[in-house]
Chain A
Amino acid sequence: MRYSQKCMATEETKKNSTKSGAQEGFVYLPLIAGWLVPGGGHFLLRKWGRGALLAASILGMFALGLLMQGKVYASVHDLLDVLGLVGDLGNGLLYVLSRMLGLGDVQVMVTTADYGTRFIVVAGLLNIIAAVDAHNLRTGRKS
């Protein structure tokens, strides 16, 4: 009885120390890390499984978008381009990397290229949702 109580107390202390460890530091760090690197916010909070699944989904969607010859928005010509650019910017460092490597800057007039462009935009939007989720975990709004 005593042993089990001691075990429980130790586990609780360990849990609390992990929680307080995650609660330390800059409150927006998981949000920013999650935006820059897909799943990064969750990794920072030691949510390895969730982070890995989010990273795989977002990176997979972005990579498939590029493989489908999707366009990465660079300049803005009309309102729809602004929305596309905002979505693409949600990819964080992936956007910067793709622009630096010149990926997604070729205009291809095939149907799958259009699917690819949407995949890249939606990957960015999903990354923003994931980053906000990491922020909610950090602030304790979500467990």
Chain B
Amino acid sequence: MGPLVFQPSHFTAVVLFSLFASTVFGITQRETPKRMLRYGIYCFVLFVAAAIALSWLMYFIAR
């Protein structure tokens, strides 16, 4: 059996990255649990939306 390897798609990698980073941002950048949750969700949406928007932009630039 070979070593355990995880090979996600680019989008899965983006979602995982966004999930972990926005969790840390939410907890460290806000004071109350409610505001932490809201800021975490806000960061997550911005991360994923920015990745999708930039991907489309690069797609049209490449043509």
**How far, in angstroms, from A126 to B24 measured CA to CA in the complex?**
7
Interface size on A, as a range, is: 20 to 34
Provide the residues of chain A in CB contact with B23, threshold 8 Å: 53-54, 56-57
The reply to whether B7 and A133 form a contact with Cβ atoms under 8 Å apart is no
Chain B interface, DSSP helix/strand/loop, else mixed: helix
**How far, in angstroms, from A142 to B16 measured CA to CA in the complex?**
28
Tell me the count of chain B residues lying within 8 A, CB to CB, of chain A: 18
Provide the residues of chain B in CB contact with A126, threshold 8 Å: 20-21, 24
Q: Please, what's the 1-or-0 string for B2-24, where 1 marks a CB less than 8 Å from any CB in chain A?
A: 00111110100100110111011
The reply to whether B5 and A69 form a contact with Cβ atoms under 8 Å apart is yes
Interface positions, chain B 24-59, Cβ under 8 Å from A, are 24-25, 27-28, 31
**How far, in angstroms, from A112 to B14 measured CA to CA in the complex?**
12
Closest-CB distance, B25 to chain A (whole angstroms): 8
The reply to whether A58 and B24 form a contact with Cβ atoms under 8 Å apart is yes
The reply to whether A67 and B5 form a contact with Cβ atoms under 8 Å apart is yes
The reply to whether A115 and B13 form a contact with Cβ atoms under 8 Å apart is yes
Q: Does A68 contact B (CB under 8 A)?
A: yes
Chain A positions within 8 Å of B, measured between CB atoms, are: 50, 53-54, 56-58, 60-61, 64, 67-69, 110-112, 115, 118-119, 122-123, 126, 129-130, 132-133, 142-143
- Give 19 pairs: A residue, B residue, CB < 8 Å, sorted on A: A54-B28, A56-B23, A57-B20, A57-B23, A58-B24, A61-B17, A61-B20, A67-B6, A115-B8, A115-B13, A119-B17, A122-B17, A126-B24, A129-B24, A129-B25, A130-B27, A130-B28, A132-B28, A143-B31
